[in-house]
Each structure stands twice: as C-alpha cells, then as structure tokens.
Amino acid sequence: MEKTSEINENNQIRIGRNADAIAKAFLDNLYYLQGCTLMNASLNDLYMALSYTVRDRMLASWIQGIQDIVDSNMLEYNKTVAYLSAEFLPGPHLANNLVCLGILEETRKAMKHLAVDLEELMNQEEEPGLGNGGLGRLASCFMDSLATLSINAIGYGIRYEFGIFDQEISNGWQVEITDKWLRYGNPWEIAKTELSQEVYLGGYTEPYTDNNGRYCVKWNPSRIIKGVPYDTPIIGYGNGKCNTMRLWKSEAVVSFNLQDFNIGDYYAAVEEKISSETITKVLYPNDEKESGKQLRLIQQYFFVCCSLKDMIRLHFSQNEEIESFHKHFAIQMNDTHPSIAVAELMRLLVDEYHLAWEKAWQITTGALSYTNHTLLPEALEKWQLDMFKSLLPRHLEIIYEINFRFLKDVEKRFPGQTELLTRMSIVDESSGKYIRMAHLACIGSHSINGVAALHTDLLKNHLLHDFYQLWPDKFHNVTNGITPRRWVNVSNQELSSLITENIGPRWLKEFHLHISDLERYQHDPVFHEKWRKVKQQNKALLAAWIQNKTGITVSTASMFDIQVKRFHEYKRQHLNVLHIISLYNQLKDNPDAAIPPRTFMFGGKAAPGYFMAKLIIKLINAVGDVVNNDRSINDRLKVVFLPNFNVQTGHIVYPAADLSEQISLAGKEASGTGNMKFSMNGALTIGTADGANVEIREQVGADNFFLFGLTTPEVFNLKSQGYNPRYYYETNPNLKRIIDQIASGWFSGGDTGLFRPLVDSMLNQDEYLLLADFQSYIDRQHEVNKTFLDPDLWTTKSIVNVARMGTFSSDCSIMEYAKNIWKIRGF
Ligand code: NBG
C-alpha cells in the first residue's frame, strides 16, 4: 500500500522527486510558464523552467513554514526569529536548493536524459547582490542555519532593484556597471501584494487627549509609501524545514494621482510614483566616506516599519494580546542599519496600540537585540538631527523621551559624572547635532553582541565601554560562522565527496560534531594523494576561469595565494603588494633563489567613492602588468585580479586556494568570514591576530597557521607613543627599495604622480601600520615557502585545518544566539 502511494507521489508532476518526474515537470514548466519547447528555449528559459520545478518541490514546506510561525504565537515561549538586515547575499539559489532538497543527483539524471547541461543552467543564474560583503553574506549563512536547525525565522530586508554594482577592470581601474539582476525574471520570489504595508514620512505631530483622558500624539505625515513584500524560500538541509526571506519593495500608494491626471498634468501624476519607487532602487556601498544620506535613512526606516507591522500582523493572527509580542518574536538587528526599530516599535506600541510607556519599553527591549559589526568610528551611523526630524518627527520625540529616561538612570547610577552623560547620550552635540544609532540600539536592546571574541572584548573595553560598565550582563560574544552546505558541499563537490567517502555524510548536517573525524587521515598517504588531487582539480577549474575572464595563463603547479574581500585600507591589500614586489626583487637579484612559484590573486570591490581603495586596485594591476610580462621571472610569479568577486565566483575561488591572506591590522577586522571559507576548503592562513583569525588559530593549532604582525595591545601602544612610519622606511633597505620603486614610477611607466597618494599615506600617516608589520609579514612568508616545498607537511596541515573548523559552522553561531540571546525553547 505504502509503496504505491510513494510511487504515485514520486510521479506527481509538481512534487515527484525522481528523475522521471523532474524531467516531466521541467518540460511542463518550460511549455506553460516560459512558453517554449526544448527546441527553441533559450538558456534562460531552461534555467527558469528548472528553477520553477525546484521551487514547486519546496512549496509544501514553505507554506508549512509560514503556518509554523503563525502557530508559534499560540504556544507559550515558542518564538520566531526576525532577522532584520539591510543586506542579504544569498548567492545563487538553484544549486543550493537542489542540494538541500536532496534531489541533485536525480535532477542531474533528468537533465542528462534531456541533453541539457545542468552546470550551464546553474551558471545562468544572476545572484541577488543585495549586500556589500561579509555582513550580508553572514545574514544568508544564518538563514541557512536557522532553517537547518528547524528554527522558525523570517529574514526581513530590502528588495533593491539594483544590487551591488558589477565590477569590470579597464586599464587596471575598477569600473562600476549597474547590476540589473531582475532583468530576466526571478523565479524564486513570490510577491505577496495583499500583505503590503503603509509607511509614513515627514509631516508633523499633534498632541491630543483621547476619550480616557490620556495624552496621545498623532503623526500627520507629508508622504505615504507602500511596501510590498517579496518572499523567497530558504530551505534547511535535509530536514524539510523552509523559512522565508521577506524583502520589501517600495511603491506609490496610488500609482496615479487622478486629480492631477484629470486636469491634464500627466507628468506630475507619475512623479509621485517614481519618487516612491526610488526608495528601494539601489543598495548603498558600505564604506563610502560621506555619511548622512537622506535616502539611506528612508530605506532603513521603510523596511523596519514594514517588517515590524508584518510581525504584529502575524502575531495577531493567533494571539489577541500585543502584550505578549516579545514572547513570540526575537528580533535581531544586524548592525545599526535597522536600529530605528527601537523607536518605531515604541511608536507602534504607544501611539497605535495605546500601551503605557513602561509596558511598551518592556516589550521593545524584550524583543530587540543588537549585533555590532564594526569598530571603525567612521562606520558608526549617525544622522543629522535636522534631517532626522524632517523625515521622522515622531521618532525624534520618542528618542528624546528614551534618552531623557536613560540619562536619568545613568545619573542615578553614576552621580555627578556629566562627561559620562555627554558621552552616552543618544544625541551627539560635540559638533553639530546628530543621532547616534549605535547608542539607540544599545539602549533599546536586551542583548549586545560582537562577532568574534577579540571584537567583543574591544567593544567592552573601548567602543561601548560606558555601556558595558552600566550593563555588563547585556554583552555577549557570538563568533561568526559560515554554512558548510554552501561553502563546502555546493561549491566544492569533489572535496565533499572525498570527505563523505571517508567519514560518512553526517558532517553536512552536524558539521561541528563530525568533521573532526577527518583528523585520523592526516598522515594517511593514500588519503593525502586524493586530497591533493581534489585541490589540483579545483585549481584547474579556477585557472580555466581566469584564462577565460582575464586572458592570463596561470600554472596549477604554483601556490595559489589568494586575498578576496572588499577593498579597504584596513584590510591592507597593499601590504600583500609590498610582499609581491619584495619577491620580484629577490628573483631579479637572484634567479636561483629557492622560491616556489606563486600566483597571487586578488578579488573584491571598492566603494565607488573610495579613492584610495580604487588606487590599490590600480596598483595591483600595475604590478601585475610588470611582473607577468617580465620574461626573466619566467612565470615564477603571477599577479591576477579576479574581476567582480561575488558569491558565485567565491564558489570557484575558495576551493582552489593554497594560501589565504587575512592580513588586516590587529583590532580592525571585527571577525572576517572569508578566513573561515578558505580554511574549511583546506587553505592554510597567513594572518594577523585580528577578528576570528585568533580563534581559528586556536582551533587549528599555532603550527598550522602562519601568524605575523603586531597584536592589538601592541598597536595601541605603538600609536600612543607616536608612530613614525619613516623609521621603518629608513632602517629597512628592502622596504625602502620597494616604496621607492612605487614612487619612482617603476610600475606606472615612469609616472611618479599616479601612486603618490599611496606612497605619501604610507610614509606620512600609515594609519594601518603597514610599515610596522612589513618585516614580520615577509619573514612569515619565507616560512610559507619552505612549508609549501614539503607537500606532505603542507597536506597534513591542510587536512587538519578542515578537520578543526567545526566551531566555525554557522550552525554553532545560531545555536548560541538561540540559547543565550533569543531564548528559544530546546536550545
Ligand atoms: C563586517 C566586518 C567583518 C565581519 C562582518 C560580519 C560590516 C559593518 N562589518 O569583519 O567588517 O565578518 O561584518 O560580521 O560590514
């Protein structure tokens, strides 16, 4: 009996999971949704048809996932996590969904049968580039783990019409191209128009007394905008749990102002529509120096307002009491971008649901928690008070009230400390008036966390020290993690199969418990052989990609030394360049030097307005031009810029790396997650004691990690003594030679002006202490070379790196949030 129903189910065109059913469904979707047949379908038609076929197989769990959230409001203490994030970088969905659904092999068969190249379809997908880098990708790794751990969750964000720009390299410079990711359709999302929300902006407030004699405030906005949710399913690995990423698109409430239309002013009528739609048009770069962009504040408020109202709607679907809201929703604010949620939730509770301030405050702080992702002062958001007031007049009043009550408490705890009050106030009056969003987030949350142990310590002892003194128990550390599903299984199928062959498949679901089983193979010669073969295959794939994209030929026998991440001075890609030039000089001086061949690769985008970051990209390409074309180097060094680094290219890059460069100045990188992606794919790391590098080194062992550079306390010390970069320049002839070469136009066809700003910055300020760390870096690189020349030693270290990465699975991070911050039952 059971057998028959199984067969029936397997054959059902919408849900069957065998190759036959998948093939039929695919042809069906191709015909009825794309309007074509195999004979005349474009690659995109095929991709769309297959994606719909896969989505169909997720729908039952997806609908159930929403129902789970609705139901959880009835049960005591059962919670839904709302992950509020202005950025998500999910990467291509197709391959990941096939893997998580467990239908990759059957789909492969189905496509083979129809003579369709599955790989080609996967490459057809335009990834949603709805984030800048680590922060957005973390949000997506967390969404994967939430589903895999069967936690009810919604990821709330913004559906940017244009995501992060596509990067091209022209004459060595970065050129930005608009990312039109929605151009050919997005088969994964479903618009839920009937769940739209209204968002107010501008205008003025008006006090009134209600029927019960209570003091109330009414907000009369000058603009109303509609937020339309677009849902994307986020499926867990092998457990049938499906959560939702709900992204808001802005629209005009009424698309045509009929009055304007009737009197013939067609253009004025359309104007409102255009200006409303502008709100979710484009993603802002994260490290643009200029701050205070009005549209960015509107974006933040827009998605926060829609999301909170959506949560309340869900809450009321099974629960009549707003008072229990925080018992059913744990809202995580991903950095300060959504921190206006503190004031907005207060506004909703006090103004719209008429709760008393104290009760509303209890619910707000009970529901909200805040993750800090940066210590860089220039990245801490603050808004000009006047602008803030003109957009969110009611929120400003609420913030004043929050601040007034807060400062009264501080005064009570630490009487007479006026400087402390000035430092902690939400309103910064040091020069001009600003709203400090990090302070609002800290005050309005029950938990504040950093993203790596070192980072959390620095928050406690420096950036947020005053808050730590006041509320030590509010502070937590949750070290970031990455999902081994996407970052090993989907992107490194060869390695994945080798691991499964040897330790079984459990590592995919519970990476932290099982991956250490690999350790027993660290000295096994047969395993070594296979391990190296996988790496070679991955390197060959990347080499082919490079040939295709850049025309540069690289040797897979060379060490693949890779630094991929956003371009920023603190990440010190230019320190890497100093090392390249050092090796180049060494080889020129002594062609017989025992230096293994290396291919240096860089990838990453610079914020369009960040001049120095763009100049560093130019420097890399300029040095590459000289080194790659110098016959006397005989291909022993190559420098390659990997254009348009994103999640999709990450899939090819991380598995192919021998060496991972994590060389930020200690104390500057909050965590880093690229460091984890490399190690989990068997690269060794050269890195500073910064961010999560510290914990990675602890886990993999000091012998299996190339540490260099100053520690954070040493950095503080050196800076407080008055750091003088010229001292290092004058006393280190190798370093002096390199900097002089750059300055003299060696890499710029004699142009001494081109890299002048970089040279000046290194010699005169060197804010990120490149010169101080230079020699230590060079020394460690010597050791890297020596180790690489011993393939057995290198392979052992590579295996050990993967085997000891258990705690860096994002499953572990999510379990910690669930237990210590969200207090979810069962954790
Ligand atoms: C980034 C940090 C990284 C960290 C990610 C994720 C921001 C503001 N911060 O070090 O620079 O890994 O956040 O936590 O993008």
pLDDT at position 78 = 85
Determine what percent of the chain is predicted with pLDDT higher than 90. 92
pLDDT at position 319 = 83
pLDDT band at 41 (very low <50, low <70, confident <90, very high): very high
| pLDDT(222) > 80 | yes
Q: How far apart are alpha carbons 262 and 494 in whole angstroms?
A: 65
| pLDDT(549) > 80 | yes
pLDDT at position 724 = 97
Structure tokens at 618: 């130019």
* 561 CB near ligand 1 (under 6 Å): no
* 666 CB near ligand 1 (under 6 Å): no
State which ligand 1 atom lies nearest to the alpha carbon of 670: 10
pLDDT band at 396 (very low <50, low <70, confident <90, very high): very high
| Interval 504-528: pLDDT, tens | 999 999 999 999 999 999 999 999 9
If we measure between CA atoms, which residue out of 439, 87, 154 comes closest to residue 296?
87
* 373 CB near ligand 1 (under 6 Å): yes
Q: Within its chain, how far is the Cα of 67 from the centroid? A: 28
Structure tokens at 595: 């230096």
* Arithmetic mean of pLDDT, 385-407: 97
Q: How far apart are alpha carbons 132 and 566 in whole angstroms?
A: 8
pLDDT band at 76 (very low <50, low <70, confident <90, very high): confident
Q: How far apart are alpha carbons 106 and 655 in whole angstroms?
A: 25
Structure tokens at 270: 């359309």
765 CA from centroid of ligand 1 (Å)? 25
| pLDDT(137) > 80 | yes
DSSP 707: E
pLDDT band at 2 (very low <50, low <70, confident <90, very high): very low
The tally of CA atoms less than 13 A away on the side-chain side of residue 227 is 30
Q: Reduced to 3 DSSP states, what percent helix, strand and coil does the chain have, rounded to the nearest 5?
A: 55, 15, 30
CA dihedral sign of residues 133, 134, 135, 138:
positive
289 CA from centroid of ligand 1 (Å)? 17
Q: Is 486 a catalytic residue?
A: no
If we measure between CA atoms, which residue out of 306, 334, 317 comes closest to residue 231?
306
C-alpha distances (whole Å) from 619 to each of 237, 574, 609, 614, 626 are: 42, 8, 17, 9, 11
Q: Are 655 and 538 a contacting pair, CB within 8 Å?
A: yes
* Arithmetic mean of pLDDT, 758-775: 98
| Interval 611-650: pLDDT, tens | 999 999 999 999 999 999 999 998 999 999 999 999 999 9
* 187 CB near ligand 1 (under 6 Å): no
| Interval 667-710: pLDDT, tens | 999 999 999 999 999 999 999 999 999 999 999 999 999 999 99
CB atoms within 10 A of CB 527: 18
Helices (H), 444-524: 453-458, 465-470, 484, 493-503, 506-509, 511-514
pLDDT band at 260 (very low <50, low <70, confident <90, very high): low
If we measure between CA atoms, which residue out of 115, 117, 124, 252 comes closest to residue 187?
124
Least confident of 310-319, 521-530, 739-748: 310-319
- The residue behind tokens 């062992």 is 701
| pLDDT(497) > 90 | yes
Determine what percent of the chain is predicted with pLDDT higher than 70. 96
Mutational pocket test of ligand 1: of 455, 671, 673, 693, the residue with most ligand atoms within 8 Å of the beta carbon? 671
* DSSP β-bridge partners for residue 330: 81
Least confident of 276-280, 329-333, 480-484: 276-280
pLDDT at position 1 = 39
- Contact partners, residue 553, CB within 8 Å, separation at least 6: 543, 547
Q: Are 91 and 127 a contacting pair, CB within 8 Å?
A: yes
Query: 673, 685, 688, 712: which is the annotated catalytic residue?
Result: 673
* Arithmetic mean of pLDDT, 143-172: 98
690 CA from centroid of ligand 1 (Å)? 12
Q: Within its chain, how far is the Cα of 546 from the centroid? A: 24
| pLDDT(45) > 50 | yes
pLDDT band at 256 (very low <50, low <70, confident <90, very high): low
> What does DSSP say about strands 197-201 and 223-235: parallel, antiparallel, or unpaired?
antiparallel
The tally of CA atoms less than 13 A away on the side-chain side of residue 741 is 19
| Interval 272-288: pLDDT, tens | 788 888 999 999 987 66
Q: Is 673 a catalytic residue?
A: yes
* Arithmetic mean of pLDDT, 798-814: 98
Q: Is 373 a catalytic residue?
A: yes
DSSP-derived secondary structure for 388-436: HHHH-HHHHHHHHHHHHHHHHHHHHHSTT-HHHHHHH-SEE-SSS-EEE
* Arithmetic mean of pLDDT, 409-416: 97
354 φ, ψ to 5°? 55, 40
Query: 57, 474, 535, 565: which is the annotated catalytic residue?
Result: 565
Mean pLDDT of the chain: 95
Q: Is 571 a catalytic residue?
A: yes
pLDDT band at 320 (very low <50, low <70, confident <90, very high): confident
Least confident of 1-10, 166-175, 597-606: 1-10
If we measure between CA atoms, which residue out of 147, 242, 187 comes closest to residue 53?
187
Q: How far apart are alpha carbons 195 and 230 in whole angstroms?
A: 10
C-alpha distances (whole Å) from 234 to each of 231, 262, 816, 818 are: 9, 46, 21, 18
Q: Is 249 a catalytic residue?
A: no
pLDDT band at 267 (very low <50, low <70, confident <90, very high): confident
87 CA from centroid of ligand 1 (Å)? 12
163 CA from centroid of ligand 1 (Å)? 18
Least confident of 283-292, 342-351, 377-386, 467-476: 283-292
3-state secondary structure of 526: helix
State pTM to two decimals: 0.97
